[in-house]
Amino acid sequence: MAFRKIYSTSKVIFNSIQYPQQVRSLSLSVVRFEQGKAVATKVDVKPEWERALSEAEKIIGQQTSFISLRYLMNDEVTNWGEHIRRLEGSNHPMYETAKLLFQQGHANNINKTWGLVVLLVSKMAGFATPPPAADIDSKSGLLKSQKILAEAVETTCTANDIHREGILNMQHLQYAGINLPPDSDLIFGNKMAILGGDILFGHAGMQFGKLKNHKANILLCTAGRDVADSHFIGDRDIQNNPLPSDPVKKLEEQKNNPVGFDEIPTDQIDNLKPFSLRDIMGTAENEWKLRNTLTTGSLLGKSCQGALMLANHPEELQKEAYFFGKHLFLGYQASKEFDMFMTEELPPSGRFNLVSAPVLFHLEADHSLYNEIKKGSESIDNIDYEKVHEIVRNGPGLDKTKELMNKNNLIATTLLYKFPESDARRALENIVLASEH
CATH at residue 343 = 1.10.600.10
Q: How many domains does one find in the chain?
A: 1
CA distances from 158 to 50, 129, 200 (A): 19, 33, 8
User: Does residue 13 form part of some domain?
Assistant: no
User: Does residue 7 form part of some domain?
Assistant: no
SS3 letters across 361-406: HHHHHCHHHHHHHHHHHCCHHHCCHHHHHHHHHCCCHHHHHHHHHH
Are the CB atoms for 300 and 326 separated by under 8 Å?
Answer: yes
Within 210-265, residue ranges assigned H as helices are 214-229, 247-256
User: Does residue 15 form part of some domain?
Assistant: no
CA distances from 121 to 118, 147, 317, 393, 420 (A): 5, 11, 11, 36, 11
Closest among 437, 348, 342 to 390, alpha carbons compared: 342
Closest among 301, 239, 248, 292 to 272, alpha carbons compared: 301
Whether the model clears a pTM of 0.85, i.e. scores above it, the answer is: no
Distance (Å, rounded) from C-alpha 24 to C-alpha 165?
43
Closest among 304, 345, 310, 331 to 408, alpha carbons compared: 331
Contacts of 40 (CB under 8 A, 6+ apart): 12, 30, 31, 403, 406, 407, 409, 410
Closest among 261, 263, 319 to 286, alpha carbons compared: 263
Distance (Å, rounded) from C-alpha 209 to C-alpha 105?
28
User: Does residue 12 form part of some domain?
Assistant: no
What SS3 class is residue 360?
Answer: helix
Task: Name the phi and psi angles at 33, rounded to 5.
Answer: -120, 130
Distance (Å, rounded) from C-alpha 22 to C-alpha 436?
21
Distance (Å, rounded) from C-alpha 400 to C-alpha 104?
33
Report the interhelical angle of 315-340 vs 284-292 (nearest 10°).
110
User: Does residue 151 form part of some domain?
Assistant: yes
Radius of gyration of the CA atoms of the chain, in A: 22
CA distances from 84 to 91, 94, 165, 214 (A): 13, 8, 15, 37
Confidence (pLDDT) at 395: 94
Per-residue pLDDT of the chain (437 residues; tens, 9 = 90+): 444 344 443 333 333 333 343 333 333 333 333 444 433 433 333 447 888 888 888 898 865 555 545 555 566 777 777 777 777 777 777 877 777 666 654 444 577 889 999 999 999 999 999 999 999 988 889 999 999 999 899 889 888 888 888 877 655 555 555 566 666 777 788 888 888 889 889 888 998 999 989 999 999 999 999 999 999 999 998 888 899 998 888 777 766 776 544 567 888 888 999 998 887 888 899 999 999 999 999 999 999 999 999 999 999 999 999 999 999 999 999 999 999 999 888 887 788 999 999 999 999 999 999 999 999 988 888 999 999 999 999 999 999 999 999 999 999 999 999 999 999 999 999 999 988 76
- Domain span including residue 202: 21-434
User: Does residue 284 form part of some domain?
Assistant: yes
CA distances from 434 to 54, 296, 343, 380 (A): 12, 19, 20, 33
Distance (Å, rounded) from C-alpha 291 to C-alpha 225?
13
User: Does residue 10 form part of some domain?
Assistant: no
User: Does residue 335 form part of some domain?
Assistant: yes
Task: Name the phi and psi angles at 235, rounded to 5.
Answer: -75, 150
